[in-house]
Structure 1
Amino acid sequence: MTRTLMTTAALLGLSTGIAHADYSLTILHTNDFHARFEPISKYDGPCSAEDNTAGECFGGSARLVNAIKAARERSNNSILVDGGDQFQGSLFYTYYKGSVAAEMMNKLGYTAMTVGNHEFDDGPEVLRGFMDKVEFPVLMSNADVSNEPLLSDAIQKSVIIEQGGEKLGMIGLTTVDTPDLASPGKNITFSDPAAAVQAEIDAMKSEGVNKFIVLSHSGYRVDTAVAEAVPEIDVIVGGHSNTYLSNTSDRAEGPYPTMVGNTAVVQAYAYGKFLGELNVTFDDEGNITEATGEPLVIDAAVEEDSDTVARIAELAGPLEEIRTKVVAETAAPVEGDRNVCRVQECEMGNLVADAMLDRVKSQGIDIAIANSGGLRASIDAGEVTMGEVLAVLPFQNTLSTFEIKGSGILAALENGVSQVEEVAGRFPQVAGMKFTWDPAAEPGSRIVEVLVETDDGLEPLDPEETYGVVSNNYVRGGGDGYSVFDTDSSNVYDYGPDLADVTAEYLAQNLPYTPYVADRISQK
């Protein structure tokens, strides 16, 4: 029998003559949780206790406990897996690093997870500390960790688990851009995802495995491409692109599951706002005969587990003084949604770029360039706490100032718009300048015009003139593909104030802050 979908009758569960051999499995899944152990607002940022009581919050570990328990009770055969990026995104990670993630994932009973790029934000050491605490395998097939002593004996490429009387082959994938996005160090190299998965499948087939599940922190576009290249994959549980798939919502980027041949590709947005629930049925040769499901919204209808609420509150104690401090006020919500800021000028991008430039303009700095991947939440209207600012800017990046020729700025902007189709975090938000780009042009030749603000008004960028630039230390060091800032800059200072503090202070100086867009970025 070929690995193709069976007839409509089989998909509907009608008699096919082989029902005795069917194997049904529920795959519960999360991805891109980003340390959101407490409930979140509709903007994916902190949600107050009052709003939580009023039923206006989502997610949080305490709701996930009961949502996962109920899902398991609906199925007699289930696993729980994660698509990576448990790290980074709230003060819980800043203060505790990976220990709270390990504790909560153990409590929830995960079967396996893949490594996300943010698991490398603090290098291999913090990831190893997390792995020493978790009670399940952490997988990554498309990376060679043999030269990294902290991880060489810890990360597995794949694992075979016994579940419901059958063998399941589980394989991990991590985005190949991880060296640009995080800090894995020079001892780890990343490779083509499709080839890595195929190698693991070939090895596991010799051990009698015919059902293959890939946990992939690579993004929806890459996942569908890998499914096309490796048709023996049965299910890909994705992450990284924070993609919402659904059969009922007009906001979804595709159906749940997205079928690529006979491979079911799923993802469940981010931040614990949804729990993915995919129900798959296999025949005795490992072919999928049915794949159905829908991400379950984790809203106020899901009761919070009281023990977990108490534990999170205990862990939050040391954080409370920092995050409850009111630092500013906004006249309207400040839009920071990744699906906006990673493709166009956005309100949060202007706020952060303005704050950066305002802090250092007196030092001869002309331009601010911020990566949209560093903007992690929106801010609602009214009082702004430091906790909200830290939810937007959780990475503890510092301001970096440097000088670079106009040609280097042009190269940086080309990099910034080179992966818009993938909603990549390198998209630039700017201050002190305007630029126009052509989405129809090939990457590397998309910038049409760049104008720099001067005392005499806007003037064209001069490729030979030297400009003062401010960014954050991550981007200045070549992160998100901005290698030109690492190789071609001079008079570099990477140790300025924390970007979150700079933004909070700028907000406080402009009360009440009114968000805006100003045609700084336009398309041809």
Structure 2
Amino acid sequence: MKRILRLAMFSVSALAIGTASASADYTLHIIHINDLHSRIEPVSKYDSTCSAEDNEAGECFGGVARVATKINELRKELEGENVLVLDAGDQYQGSLFYTTYKGDVEAEFMNHIGFDAMAVGNHEFDDGDEGLAKLADKVDFPVISGNIDVSQSNILAGKIEDHLVIEVGGEKIGIVSALATDTVETSSPSDAVTFSDEIESLQADADALAAEGVNKIIALNHVGVTKDMEIAGAVTGLDAVVGGHSHTKFSNTEEGAMAYPTMVGNVPVVQAYAYSKYVGHLVLTFDDDGNVIEATGDTILLDASVEEDPEVVARVKELAEPIEELKVKVIGEAADDIDGSRDVCRAMECSMGTLVADAMLDRVKDQGVQIAIQNGGGLRSSIDAGEVTMGEVLAVLPFQNTLATFQLKGADVIAALENGVSQIEEGAGRFPQVAGLKYTFDAKAEPGSRISNVMVADANGEFAPIDPEAVYGVVSNNYMRGGGDGYAVFRDKGMNAYDYGPGLEEVVADYIAANSPYKPYTDGRIQAADAAMAGETAVAVPEPELPVSTLTSGAPVVPARTHMVARGDNYWNLARKYYGDGQMWSKIAEANPDMDADNLTIGAELVIP
């Protein structure tokens, strides 16, 4: 039995009675998801729309019907045990269901599944304060975030909890929460919503709970794995961190994933990827003093072996009827997979970024526009080879952004690129995918000093260094032009702006149709400094006596390792696995010159120097 408690309603003596009955080795099961992003229907291996035929053939994953099945299965298996079902935020945005129903569908299925609490995600603000208020009003459980103050919002005041206590099996479980403070740049909260530091806020809430006698405290965050790890090490009194926002895969069986849980000192940190593909199951065992003495569990892949809840399937089909015709419309063909994966498009040139930026520039090339810049975080999935449907394009570009054109001085273009790579180590969505432009970035340099070798193409496609004083025509999307993802320079310095062009999804669909079968590619328009320097110095170095791959800059020679490519592998994740730093991906790329970085062949052997 679970009861949600409001701490102010209980006296100290009442709390003392509740804790006096605590028994040793209390076990709590936390079932959790995060970043579902309106993936109401099953998704492909690329996180985009999966056809009914492919689903029937067992090639699809997730969807709310499988989420419902798995959570209900776990509840039955754990009947009589202590169970919490939590969501770490970002139910909103990512499919035609959200575009059409604006949160009604997500709320309905969350109530059907039966969550105990949800953290506010940044995308819950995509339709302003009103969008989050709608969710809070419709769901049957608390929506929480401790580091946002909504008291001055006449729309949200009183609807979002700071923290809460849920009684599970006679024990009081405290839940605290934080939302990424850059939500003001990545979404659309009003000026009435103010943010405080995540760590300071969590510490204050954990202290408040401890003062009330609560000795089991879970942080349910939407800040990303890097910040979650920092929080686990910095905030005292936390017993576990259940996170979201970075779409990070935790698994004890899948190669390249973070361990589930990953321990920071004595605090377990977990996350369950995204897009309805996984459900996480964390098992915490507490001693009589509320200390975690064991933390186990894993994520569960919702593949075809997980049957879909028939009641949910029927309801999804009913809701899909008004949008099915648009979703299944074939707009062209892709000659190969178009990679829009998060880890790649937020860190380096990716084939989806090339497609979208090229399409944007092509649409307005007759308007004197020379440069296209698209944020990598605006690309939400990949598209597989074969027929391309409008549903797949909308899965990649779900935000209903429009083309925005404006003029910008060369120096401000450079400033925009500096912003774009300023948070690359955090996997931030501002990473700039471009067309009509080339640049080099050094992720190891200080933010603000990472960009070099910026080149702009002329009408004949010839590249020349950017002129800081010249004025260039630029196309982006209206979100970035309004200052989103930190692109304040677009908002403040953009001249002769027009933000009301055609929808970005329409522009990309038309471009694929006009170039069908579209052949995905990358061409080196974005270079990491390490890779660029390696290419430049290779010509100048005399032929060595030993193979280049055995040379070092002074350290002893270490034999190279090998890695067999598995599904989902990319150079960024492999560098993070083997070197602890995704920025070192170019080291692997250089050691495997015959491999296509954007299309690693499963089963191929890579050299890991």
Aligning the two structures, in what range does the TM-score lie when normalised by the shorter sequence?
A: over 0.9
Alignment partner, residue 259 of structure 1: 263
3-state SS of the aligned residue for 2:434?
A: strand
| 2:202 maps to amino acid | V
Distance in 2 of aligned mates of 1:510 and 1:454: 22
Identity %: 59
Distance in 2 of aligned mates of 1:303 and 1:323: 24
Alignment partner, residue 242 of structure 2: 237
Distance in 1 of aligned mates of 2:199 and 2:459: 53
The partner residue of 2:233 within 228, 234, 240 is 228
Task: Structure 2: state its 5+ residue gaps.
Answer: 1-21, 530-609
Alignment partner, residue 38 of structure 1: 41
Is residue 203–residue 236 contact of structure 2 (8 Å, CA) maintained in 1? no
Alignment partner, residue 522 of structure 1: 527
Alignment partner, residue 140 of structure 2: 135
The partner residue of 1:373 within 374, 377, 392 is 377
Compute the displacement of 1:523 (Å).
1.3
Note the 1:312-351 alignment, pairs <5 A. 312-351=316-355
3-state SS of the aligned residue for 2:519?
A: coil
Alignment partner, residue 432 of structure 2: 428
Compute the displacement of 1:286 (Å).
1.0
Note the 1:129-168 alignment, pairs <5 A. 129-168=134-173
Note the 1:107-506 alignment, pairs <5 A. 107-252=112-257, 254-455=258-459, 457-506=462-511
Is residue 176–residue 219 contact of structure 2 (8 Å, CA) maintained in 1? yes
Q: CA RMSD in A?
A: 1.0
| Structure 1 residue 51 corresponds to structure 2 residue 54 | yes
The partner residue of 1:26 within 25, 29, 45 is 29
Alignment partner, residue 576 of structure 2: none
The TM-score with structure 2 as length reference comes to: 0.82
Alignment partner, residue 14 of structure 1: none
Distance in 2 of aligned mates of 1:510 and 1:430: 19
| 1:88 maps to amino acid | Q
Distance in 2 of aligned mates of 1:260 and 1:71: 27
Compute the displacement of 1:31 (Å).
0.4
Which of 1 and 2 has higher RCO (CA within 8 Å, sep 6+)? 1
Is residue 61–residue 302 contact of structure 2 (8 Å, CA) maintained in 1? yes
3-state SS of the aligned residue for 1:491?
A: strand
Distance in 1 of aligned mates of 2:210 and 2:231: 18
Is residue 334–residue 380 contact of structure 1 (8 Å, CA) maintained in 2? yes
Distance in 1 of aligned mates of 2:160 and 2:389: 38
Distance in 2 of aligned mates of 1:523 and 1:454: 23
Distance in 2 of aligned mates of 1:356 and 1:503: 7
Task: Structure 1: state its 5+ residue gaps.
Answer: 1-18
Aligned length: 505
The partner residue of 2:94 within 89, 94, 99 is 89
The TM-score with structure 1 as length reference comes to: 0.95
Compute the displacement of 1:412 (Å).
0.5
| 1:27 maps to amino acid | I
Is residue 146–residue 201 contact of structure 2 (8 Å, CA) maintained in 1? yes
Distance in 1 of aligned mates of 2:57 and 2:328: 19
- Spell out, residue by residue over 1:444-484, the C-alpha distance to the aligned partner (whole angstroms, 9 max, x if none): 10112100001361110111111000000000111001111
Compute the displacement of 1:201 (Å).
1.3
Please identify the structure whose Cα radius of gyration is greater: 2
Is residue 231–residue 261 contact of structure 1 (8 Å, CA) maintained in 2? no
Distance in 2 of aligned mates of 1:491 and 1:473: 14
Is residue 23–residue 288 contact of structure 2 (8 Å, CA) maintained in 1? no
Compute the displacement of 1:20 (Å).
5.1
Is residue 36–residue 275 contact of structure 2 (8 Å, CA) maintained in 1? yes
Distance in 2 of aligned mates of 1:20 and 1:358: 67
3-state SS of the aligned residue for 1:21?
A: coil
3-state SS of the aligned residue for 1:369?
A: strand
